Amino acid sequence: MVKHPVTGEAASAADPGFERARAVADAVLYEGYLLYPYRGSSGKNRVRWQFGVLTPRAWAEARRTGPAGVAGATESWEQRTEVVCQADSPDALVHVRVRFLQLQHRQVERQAEDGRYVPVEALETTGAVHLTFDEAVPRQADAAVPLSALLSAEHTLPIRPAGGEEAEDLYGTAGRLVRRRWPVQAATVLSAELLDADRCLYRLTVTTRNTGDGAGPDDPRERALRHALLATHTLIGGAGLRFLSLTDPPAWAAEHTARCRNLHTFPVLAGQPGATDLVLSAPVILPDHPQVAPESPGDLHDAAEIDEILTLRTLLLTDAEKREARGTDRRAAEILDRVETMPPEVLSRLHGAIRSLTPGAAAGVGRHAGPWWEEGADDGLRPATDCVLVGGVAVARGSRVRLCPRGRGVDAQDMFLAGRTAEVVAVFQDVDGGHQIAVTLDQDPGAELHGWYGRFRYFRPDEVEPLPAVPDEEACLGRHRVAEA
């Protein structure tokens, strides 16, 4: 019933259909793995592994700065997925696949005159350069357990990719590449709970924990990553199971889906639109039935970027930059090969695509329709009029604040804004129930343009200091008193 990538135990013959979500799951697996310009010397590629990182518990808890929530960019030692499903029978088989990357350090070594190998940062050969860098090996662990068994007891799936070391001689040079991996110890626990017998409704819980002790509280992040699960995500499926969307559940199930508590990951329906037999739980927020654009010729490891722009910028790298990128990582070399040999018709398809011929809501020619939150959402949230109390002072749209970003866990760019004043544009709630305050900077010549585009800077309530003359403060306080009552 269980197949492990190390032990090689046999899996169930039933096909859970995980391949239907493979393209999106792979994009999650390698999101941010290596960013443009794909050179190891680039600052953005020196601080890596930002999503779904499960480190040893002692190391993670020593750096915990607040309550745990859905956010997957926070390094933790565990990741929990809770979903609601209907089952045709209690004997339905629940399939779970946990996927992640295991860090692999590639060290370049030069052979000295006495025959010993000396570690170096780079080694050049004719027409190529080889650089010391961190790679990653994809891993997965599978379990297939009857729903009835999960109702009576938890099922534990051990995840233990071993460490190892291999050496590769570099042809035409007195040097070699040494690849080393460290052991990772983790476990995934599966359980189920009956919610409604009449509707055959169940809650499935899948919790993956790093159970290793390879890094202590005082160790550097580099050591913790050696024993971590990187880009961890989970696929859940099974014949005879119908999963319910947590973002758009049927009215009769809303009470049950609202009680699901997901930690450092969020599950969405996967596969083609309309399918309900497959779930992808990822450390990045996705919509139900996410798809990779059919025009995309391959992964660029940055889903937030536009393929056409990134492809053109990659083509414009200098020969020296391309040489370094090829020596940085095999996946970088594959990206360069793909963009340099891309046929013109493939590149032209990246310029744009029509997803629907249904006309959008008319906003008038040349007229800006205004921010999306002013269009009358029916979810009870009104960022344009909502407010939040900061030090007993109501902060809402139009409020003036002084920025005081915290020193830990803050975007580096935000630190340069400490002490600057700004105007509040809106108050949002995030997926964890916290607040984010959108602002435009005072004395910013592009403030009006940013407001037109809806591009703002966001700060938590504890990162701003209210300034005098807050508009409509009493009215806002009144709304808070009514809500608290």
CATH at residue 435: 2.30.30
Q: Report the run of H or E that residue 3 belongs to, with start and end.
A: strand 2-3
The interaxial angle of helices 330-340 and 307-315, nearest 10 deg, is: 90
Give the whole-number percent of the chain exceeding pLDDT 90.
Answer: 65
In which element (H, E) is residue 166 found? Answer: strand 164-169
| 339 in a structural domain | no
Q: Write the pLDDT tens digit of every residue in 279-335.
A: 999 999 899 999 998 888 889 998 878 898 899 999 999 999 999 999 999 999 999
Q: How far apart are CA 60 and CA 58, in angstroms?
A: 6
Q: 307 in a domain, yes or no?
A: no
Domain boundary among 282, 311, 344: 282
Tell me if 304 is assigned to some domain: no
pLDDT above 70 covers a percentage of the chain that reads: 85
Question: Domain for residue 37, yes or no?
Answer: yes
**362 within a domain of the structure (yes/no):** no
Amino acid code (one letter) for 308: E
Pairwise CA distance, residues 460 & 403, whole Å? 10
- Interatomic CA distance for residues 438 and 459, integer angstroms: 7
Does residue 273 fall inside a structural domain?
yes
Whole-angstrom CA distances from 235 to 52, 100, 101, 128, 242 are 14, 11, 15, 40, 14
Report the amino acid identity of residue 393: V
Q: Does residue 14 register a pLDDT over 90?
A: no
95's enclosing H/E stretch is strand 93-111
In this structure, are residues 28 and 299 in contact, taking their beta carbons and an 8 Å threshold?
A: no
User: Tell me, what's the pLDDT at 357?
Assistant: 61
Specify the range with the lowest mean pLDDT, choosing from 154-168, 277-291, 471-485.
Answer: 471-485
What's residue 371's pLDDT?
59
pLDDT on residue 364: 42
Do 397 and 254 have their domain in common? no
Choose one of 282, 314, 330: the last residue of a domain.
Answer: 282
Core vs surface per residue 444-464: b (16+ CB within 10 A) or e: eeebeeeeeeeebbbbbbebb
How confident is residue 469, by pLDDT bands cut at 50, 70 and 90?
Answer: low
Q: Token pair 């999650």 is at which residue? A: 28
Q: Is 392 or 11 the better-scoring residue by pLDDT?
A: 392
- What are the φ/ψ torsions at residue 308 (nearest 5 degrees)? -65, -45
In whole angstroms, give the CA distance from residue 170 to residue 255.
61
**Alpha-carbon gap, residue 472 to 394, rounded angstroms:** 9
Tell me the mean pLDDT in the region 351-355.
Answer: 71
**Greatest pairwise CA separation for the chain in angstroms:** 81
| Identity of the highest mean pLDDT range in 72-81, 149-158, 307-316 | 149-158
The boundaries of the domain holding residue 393 are: 381-484
Q: Name the pLDDT band for 434 (thresholds 50, 70, 90).
A: confident
Question: What's the confidence (pLDDT) of residue 414?
Answer: 78
Helix H or strand E segment including 465:
strand 464-466
Helix (H/G/I), strand (E/B), else coil: 436: strand
More confident site: 405 or 452? 405
As for how many domains the chain has, the answer is 2
**Which residue among 261, 282, 303 closes a domain?**
282
C-alpha 239: how far from its chain's center?
Answer: 28
Same domain, 277 and 148: yes
Question: Is the residue at 312 inside a domain?
Answer: no
Confidence tier at 362 by pLDDT (50, 70, 90): very low
Identify which of 124, 181, 136 has the alpha carbon closest to the alpha carbon of residue 31. 136
Same-domain status, 275 and 403: no
Give the count of alpha carbons within 13 A of 331, CB side only: 20
Mean residue pLDDT across the chain: 86
Per-residue pLDDT, averaged over 366-376, amounts to: 52
- Per-residue pLDDT, 3: 40
Q: CA 170, 300, 71: angle at the middle one, nearest 5?
A: 115
Pairing of strands 164-169, 128-131: unpaired
Query: Tell me, what's the pLDDT at 382?
Result: 80
Is residue 330 situated within a structural domain?
no
Q: Work out the number of other CB atoms within 10 angstroms of the CB of residue 196.
A: 14
Is a pLDDT exceeding 50 seen at residue 345? yes
List C-alpha distances in Å: 352 to 287, 295, 346.
Answer: 21, 9, 11
In angstroms, the CA 97 to CA 107 distance is 31
Do residues 258 and 386 share a domain? no
Looking at 230-244, 409-423, 424-438, which range is the least confident one?
Answer: 409-423
276 and 387 belong to one structural domain: no
36 and 176 assigned to the same domain:
yes
Tokens for 302?
């940055």
DSSP 365-393: TT-----GGGS--SSS--TTT-EEEETTE
Report whether 467 contacts 401 (CB < 8 A): yes
413 — phi, psi (to 5°)?
Answer: -65, -35
Q: Which region holds residue 209: left if phi is over 0, alpha if psi is between -120 and 50, else beta?
A: beta
Give strand ranges (E) for 182-218.
186-196, 201-210
SS (H, E, C) 30-49: CCCCCCCCCCCCCHHHCCCC
What the block records as the tokens of 228 is 């971590």
pLDDT of residue 124: 87
* pTM, two decimal places: 0.74
